[in-house]
Structure formats: structure tokens, C-alpha cells
């Protein structure tokens, strides 16, 4: 699987929270050769199973992204919006966006708004319409818009929208290529609505009832300009083995297992303590009577902006660690 070609395809697929169908179709096509069965549940989670006689292991990477949703169209043809997930208004103003029907626009702010104190309620999308009547032929209330920025490389790093969390979907797909000989009962879940409350992973974990659950996601980093030590991971230092974030304290034995596998397989890895945010590991851990839960994360700079950044060496390390755990004796 070509890393950059596949990542570009995943990033460009339309898939904000609640409307993940397009990205789900791309992932299903890519996963088909490597698993025994693929199903979608009521929530829309895509569940890919590689059957085995060993313990049930659930890997979860959310496929939804943050975005904006149309709430009102004014008489001048501007689209008022609300947030889907954690959108920072001042970080997205003047970003190009697109709606699922192909309508393009530009995020702008209300006249007189203070950029330093900008709120999502101050944002509008200019779709080039002459007036409200023309705009309503292009966009309806409830339509979602996503960032429409390009994928670029910078040395060993890639800059793109929605690396959170399409890059983790890529990690699971690339790990699937290495499943030959794996005896464990493996479930690769591409979950929905993580950005609005880790909703998809909760129902998927209930149905699968895994013995082990690994969330694969991006994680915050401590090497952005002005970092305040809210995170421990660093770009380029390998797979980040999660110890905790605000949603989960990972099972200590599982943390040590992942770190030991990394050392045994000569996989570059680091310890991940994040004092903000959360992942699918949270709801997986507390499903039914409880699950041994952990996380494998890709360090990511500028998360939730239209131009996120990850190091491709970290991506490859995460692929190797996911594959190693899928093959491991538990």
C-alpha cells in the first residue's frame, strides 16, 4: 500500500462527524483484501474482522473529522455556521471549505468581530452567492462543510487537513497487510462521531466485547512553538504509547506490553502522557465489565487546524507496533 497516495485519498474523502459514509467506502475498498468480513453497525462504524482462535482484540481509529454545519442563510447569501467538534474560530478564519455536494466557499468573520476573541458564532461561509435565494440553491441548513486545504510534504513530514484521524486509519490499513499468521481474533474498527463524544467506539465495543482494546489516534505534542508541557510526545521520536489522557488511564500491564514489544522488535517508541483531550480508549475501557485498554498514537502538531503535521517515520513505527501487538501472545 502506497503510504502517501493512500493518505491523500483518505484525507480528501468527505467525512465530518455524522456523515462518514464517503470515507467509510474508501476504507472498505482498501481493507477488503486483508480481512475475513466487513460489516457496518447501526451507528455507521465500519468493523473489519480477521478471524482467529486467540483473544479478541479491538483496534479503533475514528474516521470522522471536525467541521462546520450550516445553521442559517442570511439575505446576503452568507452561511452562518456551528461547530462539529472542537473548532477554534481564530484558527480557521479565511480557510477554504467544501460541502458534500461540491459547493466551495471561504470561512470569514462577521464585520467588526474581534479576531483575538473570535467565536464560532462569529463565523460565516462565503459561497459566492449573490443573495440568500441563490445561496439556498447551493446549501441547506444542516449541511456540513470541511476544510479544503492541500496535502504537502516537508522533509519527512506531511502537512494536511484531517490527519486527525485519517492518518490512524492509514496505520490500521497498513497493519492489515501484515496479518498473515496472526492467531488472535482481530477487529479493526473505523469508528464514527469520535469528535463529538467518542460515540461510535462505545457501541462497537459493546457489540464486540473485546478482551483488549487499543485506540489508534493522533496525540498532542510538546515540541510546538510555545509548548507548555501539556503533552509528552515529540514528532519524529516514534510511536507514542499512551499512558493516560483525560478520557483514560491505560491498563499498566498493557502499557508495559506495548513498550516491551517495541523494544523487542526494535520499533522507535515513546511514552505518551496527555493532559487534555481523549480517544476511543475511554469508552472501550469501561464497556460491559471492563476491557484492558491502551493506545498507540501518532504525535501531531497543530491538531484541529486546517494544516496538521505528522512525521512519516512515526506513522511507520505505529504500523509496526500495531502489527506486532496483533501477532502477540496474550
Distance (Å, whole) CA 233 – CA 248: 17
Distance (Å, whole) CA 209 – CA 203: 10
CATH number, span 3-65+161-327: 3.40.630.10
Given the residues 20, 194, 195, 308, the one annotated as active site: 194
The predicted structure's pLDDT at residue 229:
87
pLDDT digits (tens, 9 = 90+) for 134-176: 999 999 999 999 999 999 999 999 999 999 999 999 999 999 9
| Grouped pLDDT means (10 residues each) for the chain, 330 residues | 96 98 98 98 98 98 98 98 96 97 96 88 97 97 97 97 98 96 96 98 98 98 87 97 97 98 98 96 98 98 97 98 96
Distance (Å, whole) CA 251 – CA 292: 6
The predicted structure's pLDDT at residue 114:
87
Instruction: Evaluate if pTM is beyond 0.75.
Output: yes
Strand partners, 60: 189, 215
| All structural domains of the chain with their residue ranges | 3-65+161-327, 67-147
The predicted structure's pLDDT at residue 45:
98
Fold exhibited by the domain 67-147: Elongation Factor Tu (Ef-tu); domain 3 (2.40.30)
Distance (Å, whole) CA 37 – CA 31: 10
Long-range interactions of 112-117: CB distance < 8 A, separation 24+: 115/90, 116/90
pLDDT digits (tens, 9 = 90+) for 75-116: 999 999 999 999 999 999 999 999 999 999 999 999 888 888
The predicted structure's pLDDT at residue 227:
75
Distance (Å, whole) CA 302 – CA 138: 31
308 in active site: no
Amino acid at each position: 500500500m502506497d503510504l502517501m497516495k493512500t493518505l491523500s485519498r483518505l484525507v480528501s474523502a468527505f467525512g465530518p462527524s455524522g456523515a462518514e459514509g464517503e470515507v467509510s467506502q474508501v476504507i472498505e475498498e482498501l481493507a477488503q483484501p486483508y480481512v475475513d468480513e466487513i460489516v457496518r453497525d447501526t451507528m455507521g462504524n465500519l468493523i473489519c474482522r480477521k478471524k482467529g482462535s486467540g483473544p479478541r482484540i479491538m483496534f479503533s481509529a475514528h474516521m470522522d473529522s471536525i467541521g462546520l454545519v450550516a445553521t442559517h442563510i442570511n439575505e446576503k447569501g452568507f452561511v452562518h455556521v456551528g461547530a462539529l467538534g472542537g473548532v477554534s474560530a481564530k484558527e480557521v478564519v479565511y480557510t477554504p471549505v467544501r460541502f458534500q455536494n461540491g459547493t466551495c466557499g471561504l470561512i470569514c468573520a462577521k464585520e467588526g468581530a474581534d479576531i483575538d476573541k473570535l467565536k464560532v458564532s462569529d463565523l460565516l461561509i462565503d459561497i459566492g452567492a449573490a443573495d440568500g435565494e441563490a445561496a439556498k440553491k447551493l446549501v441547506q441548513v444542516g449541511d456540513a462543510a470541511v476544510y479544503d486545504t492541500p496535502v504537502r510534504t516537508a522533509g519527512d513530514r506531511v502537512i494536511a487537513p484531517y490527519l486527525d484521524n485519517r492518518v490512524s486509519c492509514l496505520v490500521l490499513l497498513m497493519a492489515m497487510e501484515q496479518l498473515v499468521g496472526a492467531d488472535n481474533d482481530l477487529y479493526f474498527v473505523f469508528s464514527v462521531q469520535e469528535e463529538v463524544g467518542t460515540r461510535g467506539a462505545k457501541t462497537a465495543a459493546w457489540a464486540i466485547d473485546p478482551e483488549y482494546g487499543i485506540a489508534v489516534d493522533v496525540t498532542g505534542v510538546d515540541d510546538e512553538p510555545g509548548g507548555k508541557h501539556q503533552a509528552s510526545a515529540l514528532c519524529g521520536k516514534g510511536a507514542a504509547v499512551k499512558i493516560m489522557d483525560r478520557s483514560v488511564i491505560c491498563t499498566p500491564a498493557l502499557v508495559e506490553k506495548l513498550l516491551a514489544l517495541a523494544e523487542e522488535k526494535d520499533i522507535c517508541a515513546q511514552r505518551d502522557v496527555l493532559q487534555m483531550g481523549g480517544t476511543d480508549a475511554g469508552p472501550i475501557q469501561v464497556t460491559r465489565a471492563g476491557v484492558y485498554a491502551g493506545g498507540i498514537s501518532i504525535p501531531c502538531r497543530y491538531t484541529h487546524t486546517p494544516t496538521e503535521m505528522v512525521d512519516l517515520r512515526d506513522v511507520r513505527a505505529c504500523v509496526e507496533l500495531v502489527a506486532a501487538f496483533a501477532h502477540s501472545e496474550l
